[in-house]
Each structure stands twice: as C-alpha cells, then as structure tokens.
Structure 1
Amino acid sequence: MPANPSSSAQEARQVVAGRLRDLRLDAEITARELASRCGWSEAKSSRIEHAKTAPSDADIRAWCTACGAADQAAELIAANRRVDEMYVRWRRLHGHGMRRAQEAVLPLYERTRHLRVYVSNVVPGILQTEQYATALLSTIARFQGTPDDAPQAAASRIERSQVLHRGHHTFAFLLEETVLRYRIGDAETMANQLGYLLAVMALPNVSLGVIPFSAHRALWPLEAFYLFDDQRVSSELLTAAVNVSASSEIQVYAKAFAELAGMAVHGARARRLITDAIAALG
C-alpha cells in the first residue's frame, strides 16, 4: 500500500518544529519569553512548536535570533521550504490561474528519463488533447473557485507533451478502463482524445496499458501518481498536489506500479478497449 504522502509531509513539518523547540530549550527560555522577544503571542509560539502552524521565513529568522542561533536560520528555512513543496494545496498553486503551474513543471519532465504514470480518473496531462485539456481544466477551475485560464493552460500542457517526441525519454502509462469511459467534454472531444491514445501507443518509446474492468484486482484503484525516474513521486489528491522524495516511499510506489502493470493489457487488447470506448460514444 503506498504511503500516505500528506502524512509524510506532516511528519517532516514536525521535524522542523522539533528543531525549533530544541533551539528554545537550548537557549533556556520559556515559550512566553520567546514570544515576547519575537513580538507575537505565546499561542503562536505553541502552534509553531507543535506543528499546528507552518512558520514563515521571517518567523524562523525571528525564532533563531531570539534563541541566539541566527546562524541556523538559513538551514531551517531551506528545510521548511522543502516541506512546503511536499504538500501544495491546489487553491494556492492555481491562485493566479493554471497556466503558470503547467509551465513550472516542464523542466521536471524534460530532465526525467523514465516516467511512469498511473491514473484511475482522467487521461494523464502529457497525453491530453487540447480540447480535452481545456474542458478538464475549466471544470477544475470552476470547482476550486480559481481563475479560469483553461485555454492558455491547455496550450502549455500541449507544449509539455512534446517531450514524448524529443530527447531520450521513455514512458510507461497505466490507465484504468474507467479513464476511457468517463466523459470529459462532449462526445467529439472524447472521441478525439481516445483516438490520440491509439496514435501515442505506436510510439517506440511509449508503453500504454489499460487495466480492464474484468481484471482480477491484486491492488485496488489508487489516486493518480507519477514516478519521475526514481527521484520523485507526485500524487494528485482532491485538495492538494503531494510530492514525495524519500527513497523508501518511492520504492512503495514503484512496487504498486509493478503490481498494477501485472493487471493491465497492452497492444491489441488495449487497443480493443479503446476502440470499444470510442464506439460506445455513439
């Protein structure tokens, strides 16, 4: 079972909070005294120390200075920022629209040599047509209550998909059959999207498998996750994007991907499932 990435992020935040607490104890000052020196409430000190509130860069600098450990601020700020990258709420990521978020991950895709992707809900972004991406991203913006720049974000997503055709990259995609059946956009949009999947399957650097409804489940359907080499896992939850870099957790996701791959069909059998889905659109 894949580790819970949000729990991992909280554990990492507790490590930072613990280090701040140790600084206060080493300085032999109370939480009240620390709050007084920092110019904030004692309750804020307690929330930070117990990992209830994430400290800002300025909070960490003030804390370290109050404890006579200003030289440790830079290291703690860097550690705290790494925690912030582990669990990023969609509303924060998409606060100014989704185009920036699409562009920000392009370097990650370009430096990844082997990308493994499992999805149970929608077609992976890198395999989406512009019509499908626009329909999906517009729906996401409406639900999240964030600015709707779906056409621009979709165009950036299509640019990202060019890594399929350039450089030395290999790709392994696993799609639950539900992905072929869920209707994103109108029937024409879905038909074009499914047709594009058939075209992508012909690329020599791409493996695309479909896990049929009829497959014997050795592992239950999971949230979508992306394995970038063996360096990082990104998982998509309803409220947040979760990034994992701990090798022990990456190994769990790699194991899950291998077990899911064992349930998938490839080649002619996968193409048949896709063409059946196209036919069902009417």
Structure 2
Amino acid sequence: MANQSVRAVGLTHIRAVIKAYVALTKPRIMLFLLFTAYCAMIVAQGGVPDLQKTVAGLGGLALSAGGGAAINMWYDRDIDAVMERTNRRPIPAGLVKPWHALAVGLGLGALSVVVLAVWCNWLSTAFSLIGYFYYAVVYTMWLKRRTPQNIVIGGGAGAFPPLVGWACVTGHQSFAAWVMFSVIFLWTPAHFWALALYKNEDYVRAGVPMMPVVRGNRSTKRQMVIYTVLLVLTSWLLVNTLQAHMLYIAAATLVGFYFLRSTFVLMNSKDDEEILAKRTFFVSLMYLPTFFATVVVCSLI
C-alpha cells in the first residue's frame, strides 16, 4: 500500500509538471492563433489545403507561438507574481524554474524555424519568426512596461498567423492576407482594454501602464469605440476577394456592429461599468472566430 501511495504521488507530480510546461505555451491563445492561420490557408487555397502543408504550417506556427509565450512568462515573472489574474502561472507558482522557461521559449522558437523552413517555405518562416520576435521582444520587453500604447503597437504580434498561413500555402502574400492581419491588429485594443478595465487594480499593482491606468476609463472607452469602427470598416475590404459578396458584407457588418454596439454601450455607461467591460470582453472573444469563419464560408460558396 505504501508503494502504491508513493507511485500515485509521483504520477500526480509528473502530471502537474507536464501541465505546467504546457501552460507555459499559453495553449488557449495558441489555438486561437492557429485557427486564424488555418482560415487564411483555406482562403488562399480556395479549399482544404494539402495535409503536409497544413501540418507543417500549423505545427511550425504552434512552436513559434508557444516559444514566444514561454519567453513572455519568463520575462514577466515578477509582475505575474503580483497580479491576481496571473499569479497561478507556472513560474510564480513555483512549478517551473525561470531558466527552464527561457530554454523552452528559445528551443521552441528555433525548432519552429526548422519546421517551417524545411516543410513550408522561407516566406512563412520569416513571418513566423517576425511574429515570435515581435511578441517576445518588442511587446514583452520593450512596449508593455513603457507606454500605454503597448497593446496598440503590440497588437501586431497576434496578427501574424494569417500571413504565415497564406505564405505557407502560396509562397507569397496578398491583399486579403494583409486585411486579415489588419482586422486582428485593430481588434486587439478593444479586446485587451475591456479586460484591463475590469482588471485595472491588477495592472496598477504591477505598475503596468495600461491605458485605463494612465489615461483613465473614459478615454480608454472612447478609443475602444474608435478602434472598433476602424475594425468594421477594414473588414469590408475583403468583400471583393470572396465569392459570396453580399453574404459576406451582411455577415461582417452584423458581427462588427454587434461588437461596436457593445463598446458604445460601455462608453456611455456610468453604472455597472465592470459588468459591461466583462460583457464587451466576451463579445470580443466571439467576434474574431465568427469573423474568420464567415470569411472561410464566403470564400468557398
């Protein structure tokens, strides 16, 4: 019985360690990025892309995204420890040593270059590497702690997957791929500022100059509306690229205006601001997958 108990404890510990190392890669965000990349691959191909390119492209991108996330957790371990939203991450929780996270981040980033270069092409490799560097260095190490525009400028980091996916399938870029990039770029401020509005005390405690901390809630909410208007207008630019023009413009307008309405209601609110900020955040989470699913459907019918 004693040996069985020891083995059970050992297996539990191993599972916890594996789970912690997986958490370093921010798997939920990774799946989000892979989804946008795969949608771009389908549109670029005009159908389901080749299995080898799909596996190599998404696998290489997953390695790159996971590596960038591990670098982010390594560098931000000090502020993660004092923020309620992040203090249970692997490094602050003591499950992963900081230098292990750094090694994982660098290793996954290097492996992603090999996978994409060998099984896809150098253009997809280049865009993946730029996205990795943008998130791990430009956003995490330079922008995040220095400017309230951290999310605005840093939003480009999460916008690279469609460029990677498109390049992986075609070997070149297109106007449509850059529109998808721009949609994610313009979606990011309202998405993250909604989170920052109801997690404001976390950012104050950590000394991170998010827009609500530096400019106040009112200014932040106005800018959220502006970026969402630009987002809706930009989404219309895809209409001539897709087969179902009228269906696309109707669907893109509908989901865009639903998101815009949420930000507008939040901007004009004086009461229940936290509740409305949470609602806007969840609406933003629904917007992007709905938009990309619409793009795929309208490109195929």
* Higher helix residue share: 2
Structure with the greater alpha carbon radius of gyration: 1
TM-score (normalised: structure 1): 0.30
